[in-house]
Amino acid sequence: MLLEVRDLHVEFRTRDGVAKAVNGVSYSVDEGETLAVLGESGSGKSVTAQAIMGILDTPPGKITAGEILFQGEDLLKFKEEERRKVRGAQMAMIFQDALSSLNPVLSVGAQLGEMFTVHQGMSRKAAKAKAIELMERVRIPAAAARVGDYPHQFSGGMRQRIMIAMALALEPDLIIADEPTTALDVTVQAQVMDLLAELQRELNMGLILITHDLGVVADVADRIAVMYAGRIVESAPVHDIYKAPAHPYTKGLLESIPRLDQKGKELYAIKGLPPNLMHIPPGCAFNPRCPLAQDVCRTDVPPLYEVTEAGTDRVSACHFWRECLHG
């Protein structure tokens, strides 16, 4: 297994109290595999990714428990210096907003080249040649002429390609893409996702795709992990989960997508609001919004049950996953 997150807990200590952002997340990604982490804002999907990358702001954030095994070694036991060597070279991240993630006062060539001068001690000239090569690889037209341009001179789609190029520079084993296409238009999103998938195949990388878009997930993922209030509520191969969700939250998300036969009718809506992370409801965090909730849901936190029907290798954190599957 390339990456294995085990029972990760992250808290944020703020003036108003402790916000429990991640409450026991476990997932794993293999080489060449795409894991989609699906969740709404505040579900902890990005915080988990930041903990894996080692770019969590501490304080206020604090990893209170858990292990992050990367190629068998626990990253949380590494010293900062060792982690820095892993970051960029072995795992890299693609951020949502390319414009604010790139340095506006450095040319893109300089930023791409930095990967090689810092990690591999290359000369600046050689690094520039590498930068051009990378830009060609992500299909930026006239790469040699544009290597000296600044981020604002590129369009949104092109900037996201540069982010991808930067992440791929040192051919890492794992890429974490945090909402990589959310800020892009549909037609450009299709171009960028295609490119990312192609490069992943070519380099046989593991990819963690963090998103809230059920459409993008269906297009590219092998497995899905659905997060709610800092926990994984369901995890399964992509085909199984769309066919028969085994958690009421996943089911609600899938049903709230407008479909043809619902035209003119009321859309299915999950009632209520996501919980405040400082006051997560006791028992199952989803119980106040759940149509299947019983007394047991208000008192007992559901473990990750193994779902033994409708597919293999899937888990659901619902006491009533059977009812959900059939109802």
Angle at 190 between CA 188 and CA 193, to 5 degrees: 110
Does 259 sit near other proteins (CB under 8 A)? yes
Cβ closer to other proteins: 154 or 320? 154
Distance separating alpha carbons of residues 29 and 35, to the nearest angstrom: 6
Closer of 44 and 157 to other proteins (Cβ)? 157
Tell me which of 89, 144, 170, 188 binds other proteins, using CB under 8 A.
Answer: 188
Task: Please choose, from the candidates 3, 182, 216, 181, the residue with its C-alpha nearest in 3D space to the C-alpha of residue 92.
Answer: 3
Asked if residue 200 binds other proteins (CB under 8 A), the reply is: no
| Residue of 40, 67, 133, 136 that binds other proteins (CB under 8 A) | 40
Q: Does residue 86 contact residue 92 with C-beta atoms inside 8 Å?
A: no
Q: Which two tokens stand for residue 109?
A: 């060539």
Q: Tell me how far CA of residue 271 lies from CA of 103, 236, 274, 275, 319, in angstroms.
A: 41, 25, 10, 12, 20
The amino acid present at 239, given as its one-letter code, is: H
Binding flags for other proteins, 128-157, as an x/- string (CB under 8 A): -------------x----------xxxxxx
Gyration radius of the chain's alpha carbons: 21
Q: How far is the CB of 83 from other proteins (least distance, A)?
A: 28
**Among 147, 207, 216, 293, interactor with other proteins by CB under 8 A:** 216
CB under 8 Å to 16, separation ≥6 — which residues? Answer: 278
Q: Considering beta carbons, is residue 96 or 107 the nearer one to other proteins?
A: 96
Distance CA 86, CA 69 (A): 13
Q: Which is nearer to other proteins, 170 or 254 (CB)?
A: 254
7 belongs to the binding site for other proteins (CB under 8 A): no
Residue 305: HSE in the Cβ half-sphere, 13 Å Cα cutoff: 16
Question: Going by C-beta distance under 8 Å and a sequence separation of 6 or more, which residues neighbour residue 81?
Answer: none
In the bound state with other proteins, the residue whose beta carbon lies nearer, of 73 and 198, is 198
Minimum Å gap between C-beta 190 and other proteins is 4
* Interaction of residue 269 with other proteins, rule CB under 8 A: yes
Binder of other proteins out of 5, 110, 127, 253 (CB under 8 A):
253
Residue 50 identity (one-letter amino acid): Q
The encoded tokens of residue 221 equal 């993922």
Contact positions vs other proteins (CB under 8 A)? 40-41, 96-97, 99, 141, 152-158, 179, 182-191, 193-194, 212-219, 221, 238-239, 242, 252-254, 256-263, 266-271, 273-274
